[in-house]
Structure 1
Amino acid sequence: MSNRLAIACRDQAVHCDRLGSPFMVKLMGLLADNSATHPALRSWENQFSGDISPAGISLPLRIAGGLQYLVVARKSTALAACYPPNEVPDAALWDAVDTALISNPEFWNAWLENAPQTNEVRRSVALIAAAHYLAAQTTLPFHLSELGASAGLNLMFDQFSMQAGPNSFGDASSVHLTPDWIGTPPEARSIKVASRRGVDLNPLDSQDPETQLRLLAYLWADQPERATLTKAAIAIQNASVDQGDAIEWLESRLSAPFDGLHLIYHTIAWQYFPETAQAKGASLIESSGESATADRPLAWLRMENDGSSPGAALTLRLWPGDLTVQLGRVDFHGRWMDWQAPQTLDWIR
């Protein structure tokens, strides 16, 4: 019988390597090497049926997140002493991890039930670029609807700043993004956001101290810049995130058109919706798009894994006209952008 957890951890290690986290590669390797004999790891593998890999429920990331939580919440000084920026031999790290895994089973039983929620702030590099690209087409105010919004940090993208090649976007901000940029970036434009709202099955209150620890727990220990950006985004977050099914929420959101541009978007979220929900969601957006006008246009922005590499596809679909624009590809964590959008667009100007 195959060791599903070992396979899932080694798969996750490949992704962590691509995303620049040597520590997570090491941690995933240790979990894989010991998964067949460790009582807690064996129990958790048996607890979850189906796909536990990064493409499924992501059990390796759930475990890693729980360990990181014990560090950031100061629940385990022994584990913290073995985590970055400290460097220790693999044997010492495993001893600390081993102890943490078998301690406090009540904590682990509760923690593992919840899916990872990183709310990766750097994904806003795609949102900022696309929004300025859209603003070249219309001066209408934006109404934002984010599916899978988690804590709503990326609902605030217009209040972040970004340096993309020679172009600067946004006013000075504590959340400043500096992706490696390929291609000619769009021109910086004036963007007015008239309303913003998101939905998530398990929305996180970013102003709650315990929730803040949970957000930080899913950021990898050897990438402190992600934690810095997340804390800065938390400080300015004031958008509402509703609890509920994303497609049911979207149906209600589309029931009355906005006075301005309605921008629907999601970043690495659509793949987690059931296929029936995806089909219904696409149908709802397309149906609403049929009644869009130049005064009330509709835009659907997707940053999603399309099975190709590197990174995720960034696609924009626009109504009226049902125009699809391939904007390029973007790193899953927003570290780089390969901007491929046409410089001119014949839409509603």
Structure 2
Amino acid sequence: MTLEDAFLDQARSNRALGSPFTARVLSLAATRLVPGNPVADRMRGWQGDIGSRGASLPLRFLGGLHALVLTGDCPELAACYPPNPRPDDATLAAALDTALGRHQPTLMRWLDLPPQTNEVRRAAVMIAAAHWLAVHFGLSRFVASELGASAGLNLMWDRFRLDLACGIFGPRASGVRLDPEWRGPCLPEADIEVIDRRGVDIAPLNPHDPDDALRLTSYLWSDQPWRIERTRAAIEIAEADVDKGDAGDWLARRLATEHPGAIHLVTHTVAWQYFPENTCQTCLDAFAEAGARATRDAPLARLSMEGDTRRGEGAPIELTIWPGGRTHKLGRVDFHGRWVDWKPPADPRRKT
């Protein structure tokens, strides 16, 4: 895939995800990243998959541009971004050229790391899976772990309010309100208590550090201000610890401790694709080893929301539970949590 193709492909995805402005930015950028510019040259020389299933270079670049807007460092670009009036293509292209010419250090920094949106609406799937598991096992206490946790916002899923037509799940007073289009049966009622929460990331962010908070919000799209508002609300209540390290080694240590009377729920959402192959294998080995020790009184569950080959149809929701190691396909979810097509097994109390 060429750099231009990667940008145009991401533009199509952004448009499908309800962000026509960032789609325009990516489409125009595809024609501005000419050889000779250090930022363009770095991306052109990138090794490996540069598209959405790999390094996601277009999203890294887009995040750097938005950071320049949020800080006001590039007023020419900020004048083109929402909520300002929509510029014509020539004006927007000129602003992109200014950013590429005058703000290369910022754009280079944003190329260093994969996007870390901590998309809060994905937590709807975590809430749903937790309620299903609580009824399935007859347990209300949870240990929450997340791989690729970034700033740990979604480790706070039990503190978010999920509003469905059939009912409200989670604390009603929560400042973080999730209201996806829900397709499928309502969730089973369950009392949820998270007794321990922790995550891991190769480059964790501190949501209460201004620079890290900027990185988080920069990956959110400027013509979707409600995503930024929801993320900032989640930052207000964030208190989960996120360790810096390799997900595989961390998971092996994390799963070594047993928690009788609690369900250990390990989640990863749009993170697995960024892990090196050896990290993925170490994680799988850790799941297998811990799963062999799991009991009905101390079960283990792995919830994944990762992309597959069905482009444009969101991500599959898969839940593997131990003892037994059975994988349940729970439907699909929009990558930004706008909708959830919830299709769990008919009876969550069915034995493994």
Q: TM-score normalised to the size of structure 2? A: 0.94
Cross-structure match for 2:307: 305
Stretches of structure 1 lacking an aligned partner (at least 5 in a row): none
Across the aligned residues of Structure 1 and Structure 2, the Cα RMSD in angstroms comes to 1.7
Cross-structure match for 1:114: 113
User: Once the 2 structures are TM-superposed, how far is the Cα of residue 127 of structure 1 from its aligned partner?
Assistant: 0.6
Residues of 2 paired with 1:112 and 1:324: CA distance? 36
User: Once the 2 structures are TM-superposed, how far is the Cα of residue 338 of structure 1 from its aligned partner?
Assistant: 0.2
Question: Within 5 A, what are the aligned runs for 1:58-73?
Answer: 58-73=56-71
Cross-structure match for 1:162: 162
Contact 1:186 1:343 survives alignment (8 Å): no
**Counterpart code for 1:263:** L
The secondary structure found in structure 2 opposite 1:62 is helix
Cross-structure match for 1:123: 122
Larger displacement relative to structure 2 (99-108 or 35-44): 35-44
Residues of 2 paired with 1:299 and 1:322: CA distance? 9
Are residue 15 (structure 1) and residue 17 (structure 2) matched?
no
Are residue 344 (structure 1) and residue 347 (structure 2) matched?
yes
Contact 2:39 2:108 survives alignment (8 Å): no
Cross-structure match for 2:231: 230
Contact 2:164 2:180 survives alignment (8 Å): yes
The correspondence for 1:319, drawn from 303, 322, 328, is 322
**Counterpart code for 1:20:** G
**Identity, % of aligned pairs?**
46
Residues of 2 paired with 1:287 and 1:45: CA distance? 40
Cα deviation code 1:230-279 (max 9, x no counterpart): 00000000010000000100000111211311111111111222233222
Question: Within 5 A, what are the aligned runs for 1:236-255?
Answer: 236-255=237-256
User: Once the 2 structures are TM-superposed, how far is the Cα of residue 175 of structure 1 from its aligned partner?
Assistant: 0.5
Cross-structure match for 2:24: 26
Q: TM-score normalised to the size of structure 1? A: 0.95
Cα deviation code 1:101-149 (max 9, x no counterpart): 1103333333321221111111101111111111212224100110000
Larger displacement relative to structure 2 (56-65 or 174-183): 56-65
User: Once the 2 structures are TM-superposed, how far is the Cα of residue 63 of structure 1 from its aligned partner?
Assistant: 1.2
Larger displacement relative to structure 2 (185-194 or 235-244): 185-194
The aligned length equals 347
User: Once the 2 structures are TM-superposed, how far is the Cα of residue 34 of structure 1 from its aligned partner?
Assistant: 2.4
Residues of 2 paired with 1:169 and 1:112: CA distance? 38
The secondary structure found in structure 1 opposite 2:347 is coil
The secondary structure found in structure 2 opposite 1:136 is helix
Cross-structure match for 1:208: 209
Contact 1:294 1:348 survives alignment (8 Å): no
Residues of 1 paired with 2:121 and 2:349: CA distance? 29
**Counterpart code for 2:66:** Q
Are residue 265 (structure 1) and residue 267 (structure 2) matched?
yes
Residues of 2 paired with 1:323 and 1:105: CA distance? 49
Cross-structure match for 1:283: 285
Point out 4+ residue stretches in structure 1 off by more than 4 angstroms: 346-349
The secondary structure found in structure 2 opposite 1:318 is strand
Residues of 2 paired with 1:104 and 1:34: CA distance? 15
**Counterpart code for 1:291:** R
The secondary structure found in structure 1 opposite 2:129 is helix
Cα deviation code 1:283-314 (max 9, x no counterpart): 22122111111211111111111222411010
Residues of 2 paired with 1:57 and 1:195: CA distance? 32
Residues of 1 paired with 2:191 and 2:107: CA distance? 47
Cross-structure match for 2:276: 274
Cross-structure match for 1:335: 338
User: Once the 2 structures are TM-superposed, how far is the Cα of residue 38 of structure 1 from its aligned partner?
Assistant: 7.0
Residues of 1 paired with 2:345 and 2:292: CA distance? 24
Cross-structure match for 1:6: 4
Residues of 2 paired with 1:29 and 1:157: CA distance? 35
Cross-structure match for 1:150: 150
Stretches of structure 2 lacking an aligned partner (at least 5 in a row): none
Larger displacement relative to structure 2 (304-313 or 241-250): 304-313
Contact 2:4 2:31 survives alignment (8 Å): yes
Contact 1:268 1:304 survives alignment (8 Å): yes
**Counterpart code for 2:299:** P
Residues of 2 paired with 1:249 and 1:41: CA distance? 34
Residues of 1 paired with 2:36 and 2:164: CA distance? 47
**Counterpart code for 1:246:** A
The secondary structure found in structure 2 opposite 1:242 is strand
Residues of 2 paired with 1:120 and 1:224: CA distance? 13
